[in-house]
């Protein structure tokens, strides 16, 4: 029950309410702004997430968590928030500062969004080598990236210019 989407969404909503009260009327703390932005992203509220993550980044431009969350937003959100080039740039900066599995996952997703499936696969393998807690999620990511690599190779083989 704890792992169901409904419970996770409920938790995110409760956390967002608590943080929103904390942020209101105070000098904003970049960590709180980033946490709120991340929760808004989890809840699918991209515009609000982007606003808070950008505010947090302006206050702490080198914070790897903020860079990572902003990269994830750009790599996985629908238009007009989808910006694979920005995602990759931010994810590379975050990964240069922090190599935790979730940061590597974001970098892999950014490579994937940019069509660099081989790099995505290699990066998710690095994340898996760190024995992340939610291993099944990372294995699903790896499966997605492997499939993209295989489809890319098939398309290359069938391309008239490849001969």
The tens digit of pLDDT for each residue in 62-88 reads 999 999 999 999 999 999 999 999 999
Split at pLDDT 50, 70, 90, the class of 42 is confident
Predicted pLDDT at 7: 66
Residues in the chain: 163
Segment 11-17 mean pLDDT = 69
What is the model's pTM? 0.84
Q: If 0-12 CB within 10 Å is exposed, 13-18 middle and 19+ buried, where does residue 15 land? A: middle
Split at pLDDT 50, 70, 90, the class of 43 is confident
Q: Give which of 131, 56, 142, 69 is closest to 100, Cα–Cα.
A: 131
Predicted pLDDT at 163: 47
Split at pLDDT 50, 70, 90, the class of 26 is low
**SS3 at position 86:** helix
Alpha-carbon gap, residue 114 to 89, rounded angstroms: 11
């Amino acid at each position: 029950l704890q792992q169901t989407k409904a419970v996770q969404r409920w938790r995110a909503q409760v956390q967002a309410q608590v943080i929103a009260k904390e942020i209101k009327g105070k000098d904003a703390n970049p960590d709180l702004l980033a946490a709120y932005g991340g929760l808004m992203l989890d809840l699918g509220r991209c515009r609000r997430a982007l606003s808070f993550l950008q505010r947090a980044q302006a206050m702490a431009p080198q914070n790897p968590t903020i860079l990572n969350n902003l990269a994830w937003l750009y790599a996985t959100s629908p238009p007009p928030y989808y910006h694979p080039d920005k995602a990759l740039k931010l994810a590379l900066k975050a990964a240069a500062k922090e190599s935790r599995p979730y940061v590597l996952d974001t970098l892999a997703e950014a490579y994937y969004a940019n069509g660099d499936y081989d790099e995505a696969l290699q990066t998710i393998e690095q994340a898996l080598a760190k024995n992340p807690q939610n291993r099944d999620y990372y294995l699903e990511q790896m499966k997605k990236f492997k499939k993209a690599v295989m489809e890319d190779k098939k398309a290359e083989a069938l391309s008239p210019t490849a001969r």
